Amino acid sequence: MKLIFLGPPGAGKGTVAQKLVDDLAIVHISTGDLLREAVKKGTELGKKAKPHMDAGDLAPDNLVIGLLKERIARPDCKNGFILDGFPRTTPQAEALEAAQVKIDRVINFNIADEVIIRRLSGRRVSRKTGKIYNVNPEGIPQPPSDMPKDELFQRDDDKPEAIRNRLMVYRKQTEPLIACYTKKKLLMNVDGNRDLGPIADEVKKALGRKVT
Protein backbone atom coordinates (compact mmCIF):
# COMPACT_ATOMS: atom_id res chain seq x y z
CA MET A 1 0.00 0.00 0.00
CA LYS A 2 1.57 3.24 -1.16
CA LEU A 3 -0.22 6.43 -0.22
CA ILE A 4 0.41 10.13 -0.70
CA PHE A 5 -0.95 12.63 1.83
CA LEU A 6 -1.48 15.93 0.06
CA GLY A 7 -2.52 19.14 1.74
CA PRO A 8 -1.23 22.41 3.14
CA PRO A 9 1.13 22.55 6.12
CA GLY A 10 -0.78 22.17 9.38
CA ALA A 11 -3.57 20.11 7.78
CA GLY A 12 -2.88 17.23 10.19
CA LYS A 13 -1.25 14.92 7.61
CA GLY A 14 1.50 13.79 9.98
CA THR A 15 -0.84 13.09 12.90
CA VAL A 16 -3.31 11.14 10.75
CA ALA A 17 -0.42 9.20 9.17
CA GLN A 18 0.84 8.23 12.65
CA LYS A 19 -2.63 6.92 13.50
CA LEU A 20 -2.68 4.70 10.39
CA VAL A 21 0.78 3.22 9.98
CA ASP A 22 0.46 0.51 12.64
CA ASP A 23 -2.88 -0.75 11.33
CA LEU A 24 -1.70 -0.75 7.75
CA ALA A 25 1.77 -2.13 8.62
CA ILE A 26 3.47 0.50 6.50
CA VAL A 27 5.91 3.31 7.30
CA HIS A 28 5.34 7.06 7.61
CA ILE A 29 7.79 9.10 5.58
CA SER A 30 7.80 12.84 6.13
CA THR A 31 10.27 14.71 3.92
CA GLY A 32 10.02 17.61 6.41
CA ASP A 33 11.26 15.27 9.18
CA LEU A 34 14.02 13.86 6.96
CA LEU A 35 15.18 17.38 6.12
CA ARG A 36 15.05 18.53 9.75
CA GLU A 37 17.15 15.49 10.70
CA ALA A 38 19.71 16.42 8.03
CA VAL A 39 19.81 20.01 9.37
CA LYS A 40 20.28 18.76 12.93
CA LYS A 41 23.13 16.46 11.89
CA GLY A 42 24.71 19.33 9.96
CA THR A 43 25.05 17.34 6.70
CA GLU A 44 25.82 19.12 3.42
CA LEU A 45 22.24 18.52 2.31
CA GLY A 46 20.94 19.93 5.57
CA LYS A 47 23.07 23.07 5.18
CA LYS A 48 21.71 23.63 1.69
CA ALA A 49 18.09 23.08 2.73
CA LYS A 50 18.06 25.12 5.96
CA PRO A 51 17.71 28.68 4.60
CA HIS A 52 14.79 27.62 2.39
CA MET A 53 13.09 25.84 5.27
CA ASP A 54 13.51 28.72 7.71
CA ALA A 55 11.89 31.11 5.24
CA GLY A 56 8.98 28.72 4.63
CA ASP A 57 10.10 28.12 1.03
CA LEU A 58 10.53 24.72 -0.56
CA ALA A 59 13.94 23.05 -0.52
CA PRO A 60 15.36 22.45 -4.03
CA ASP A 61 13.71 19.56 -5.91
CA ASN A 62 16.95 17.68 -6.63
CA LEU A 63 17.85 17.53 -2.91
CA VAL A 64 14.43 16.34 -1.78
CA ILE A 65 14.00 13.84 -4.61
CA GLY A 66 17.39 12.26 -3.82
CA LEU A 67 16.57 12.07 -0.12
CA LEU A 68 13.15 10.51 -0.75
CA LYS A 69 14.43 7.92 -3.24
CA GLU A 70 17.09 6.81 -0.80
CA ARG A 71 14.49 6.50 1.97
CA ILE A 72 11.98 4.42 0.00
CA ALA A 73 14.72 2.04 -1.12
CA ARG A 74 15.25 0.91 2.51
CA PRO A 75 13.95 -2.56 3.50
CA ASP A 76 11.32 -1.24 5.94
CA CYS A 77 9.42 0.23 2.97
CA LYS A 78 8.77 -3.09 1.28
CA ASN A 79 5.15 -3.30 2.58
CA GLY A 80 4.45 0.26 1.57
CA PHE A 81 4.45 3.79 2.95
CA ILE A 82 2.62 7.02 3.47
CA LEU A 83 4.41 9.93 1.83
CA ASP A 84 3.65 12.97 3.97
CA GLY A 85 4.72 16.22 2.32
CA PHE A 86 6.04 14.64 -0.89
CA PRO A 87 5.54 15.33 -3.76
CA ARG A 88 5.14 19.08 -3.37
CA THR A 89 5.94 20.13 -6.94
CA THR A 90 5.26 18.81 -10.44
CA PRO A 91 8.92 17.74 -10.96
CA GLN A 92 8.73 15.75 -7.69
CA ALA A 93 5.55 13.98 -8.85
CA GLU A 94 7.23 13.25 -12.19
CA ALA A 95 10.28 11.84 -10.38
CA LEU A 96 8.03 9.36 -8.55
CA GLU A 97 6.52 8.23 -11.84
CA ALA A 98 9.92 7.98 -13.49
CA ALA A 99 11.08 5.77 -10.60
CA GLN A 100 7.99 3.60 -11.27
CA VAL A 101 6.60 4.03 -7.78
CA LYS A 102 3.00 2.87 -8.11
CA ILE A 103 0.77 4.99 -5.87
CA ASP A 104 -2.51 3.38 -4.72
CA ARG A 105 -4.29 6.47 -3.40
CA VAL A 106 -3.74 10.17 -2.82
CA ILE A 107 -5.52 11.58 0.23
CA ASN A 108 -6.14 15.29 -0.15
CA PHE A 109 -6.70 17.26 3.06
CA ASN A 110 -8.97 20.28 2.44
CA ILE A 111 -8.68 22.88 5.15
CA ALA A 112 -9.36 26.59 5.62
CA ASP A 113 -6.39 28.99 5.95
CA GLU A 114 -7.66 30.35 9.31
CA VAL A 115 -7.67 26.85 10.80
CA ILE A 116 -4.12 26.26 9.57
CA ILE A 117 -2.78 29.55 10.86
CA ARG A 118 -4.33 28.90 14.27
CA ARG A 119 -3.00 25.32 14.46
CA LEU A 120 0.53 26.11 13.31
CA SER A 121 1.00 29.19 15.44
CA GLY A 122 0.19 27.11 18.56
CA ARG A 123 2.59 24.33 17.62
CA ARG A 124 5.62 23.78 19.88
CA VAL A 125 8.35 21.14 19.86
CA SER A 126 10.06 19.54 22.86
CA ARG A 127 13.81 20.14 22.81
CA LYS A 128 14.28 16.86 24.64
CA THR A 129 12.13 14.42 22.69
CA GLY A 130 11.24 16.20 19.44
CA LYS A 131 7.56 15.52 20.24
CA ILE A 132 5.04 18.03 18.99
CA TYR A 133 2.50 19.73 21.27
CA ASN A 134 -0.07 22.48 20.77
CA VAL A 135 -0.36 25.27 23.31
CA ASN A 136 -3.71 26.63 21.99
CA PRO A 137 -6.49 26.02 24.56
CA GLU A 138 -8.17 23.54 22.17
CA GLY A 139 -4.83 22.23 20.86
CA ILE A 140 -4.02 18.50 20.82
CA PRO A 141 -1.88 17.19 22.41
CA GLN A 142 -1.44 19.68 25.25
CA PRO A 143 2.01 19.77 26.86
CA PRO A 144 2.07 17.94 30.24
CA SER A 145 1.39 20.39 33.08
CA ASP A 146 4.72 19.57 34.76
CA MET A 147 6.80 20.18 31.63
CA PRO A 148 9.31 23.03 32.19
CA LYS A 149 8.34 26.08 30.06
CA ASP A 150 11.75 26.32 28.37
CA GLU A 151 11.59 22.71 27.14
CA LEU A 152 9.28 23.81 24.33
CA PHE A 153 10.31 25.92 21.35
CA GLN A 154 8.57 27.26 18.27
CA ARG A 155 10.01 26.21 14.89
CA ASP A 156 11.14 29.20 12.80
CA ASP A 157 8.80 28.09 10.04
CA ASP A 158 5.82 28.09 12.46
CA LYS A 159 6.20 31.84 13.06
CA PRO A 160 3.43 33.96 11.48
CA GLU A 161 5.46 35.40 8.57
CA ALA A 162 6.77 31.99 7.54
CA ILE A 163 3.31 30.39 7.90
CA ARG A 164 1.83 32.93 5.49
CA ASN A 165 4.65 32.22 3.04
CA ARG A 166 4.24 28.43 3.38
CA LEU A 167 0.56 28.77 2.51
CA MET A 168 1.34 30.88 -0.55
CA VAL A 169 3.98 28.39 -1.66
CA TYR A 170 1.48 25.56 -1.18
CA ARG A 171 -1.21 27.24 -3.31
CA LYS A 172 1.24 28.05 -6.07
CA GLN A 173 3.49 25.00 -6.25
CA THR A 174 1.67 22.07 -4.65
CA GLU A 175 -2.04 22.64 -5.28
CA PRO A 176 -1.69 21.95 -9.03
CA LEU A 177 -0.95 18.32 -8.08
CA ILE A 178 -4.62 17.95 -7.04
CA ALA A 179 -5.71 18.21 -10.67
CA CYS A 180 -2.95 15.86 -11.76
CA TYR A 181 -3.97 13.08 -9.31
CA THR A 182 -7.68 13.68 -9.96
CA LYS A 183 -7.01 13.00 -13.62
CA LYS A 184 -5.25 9.77 -12.68
CA LYS A 185 -8.35 8.85 -10.59
CA LEU A 186 -6.26 8.45 -7.45
CA LEU A 187 -7.58 11.38 -5.40
CA MET A 188 -9.71 11.06 -2.28
CA ASN A 189 -10.76 14.31 -0.59
CA VAL A 190 -11.11 14.59 3.19
CA ASP A 191 -12.40 17.52 5.20
CA GLY A 192 -9.42 18.55 7.33
CA ASN A 193 -11.31 21.20 9.34
CA ARG A 194 -12.30 18.53 11.89
CA ASP A 195 -10.71 16.55 14.70
CA LEU A 196 -8.03 14.26 13.37
CA GLY A 197 -9.38 10.95 14.83
CA PRO A 198 -12.47 10.80 12.56
CA ILE A 199 -10.31 11.67 9.56
CA ALA A 200 -8.05 8.66 10.21
CA ASP A 201 -11.16 6.43 10.47
CA GLU A 202 -12.56 7.80 7.21
CA VAL A 203 -9.32 7.07 5.37
CA LYS A 204 -9.14 3.56 6.86
CA LYS A 205 -12.70 2.82 5.71
CA ALA A 206 -11.96 4.12 2.22
CA LEU A 207 -8.99 1.74 2.06
CA GLY A 208 -11.26 -1.15 2.97
CA ARG A 209 -9.95 -1.57 6.52
CA LYS A 210 -12.01 -2.16 9.63
CA VAL A 211 -12.50 0.78 11.96
CA THR A 212 -12.39 -0.33 15.60
Catalytic residue among 48, 105, 118, 155: 155
Catalytic residue among 88, 119, 124, 204: 88
Catalytic residue among 71, 123, 124, 204: 123
Minimum distance, C-beta of residue 59 to ligand AMP, in the bound complex (Å): 4
Minimum distance, C-beta of residue 66 to ligand AMP, in the bound complex (Å): 11
Residue 126, φ and ψ in degrees, nearest 5: -80, 130
Nearer to ligand AMP, 176 or 211 (CB): 176
105 is catalytic: no
Q: Which of 161, 152, 174, 153 minimizes the C-alpha distance to 56? A: 161
Q: In what order do the strands lie in the sheet with 2-6?
A: 27-30, 81-84, 2-6, 105-110, 187-191
d(CA 212, CA 142): 25
Nearer to ligand AMP, 12 or 32 (CB): 32
The C-alpha angle 6, 12, 7, rounded to 5 degrees, equals 20
CB nearest ligand AMP: which residue?
32
Minimum distance, C-beta of residue 143 to ligand AMP, in the bound complex (Å): 19
Q: Which of 181, 4, 8, 6 minimizes the C-alpha distance to 111? A: 8
166 is catalytic: yes
13 is catalytic: yes
DSSP symbol at 211? P
Interface residue list for ligand AMP (CB under 6 A): 9, 30-32, 35, 52-53, 56-59, 64, 85-86, 88, 92, 157, 166
Minimum distance, C-beta of residue 13 to ligand AMP, in the bound complex (Å): 8
* Residues marked as catalytic: 13, 88, 123, 155, 166
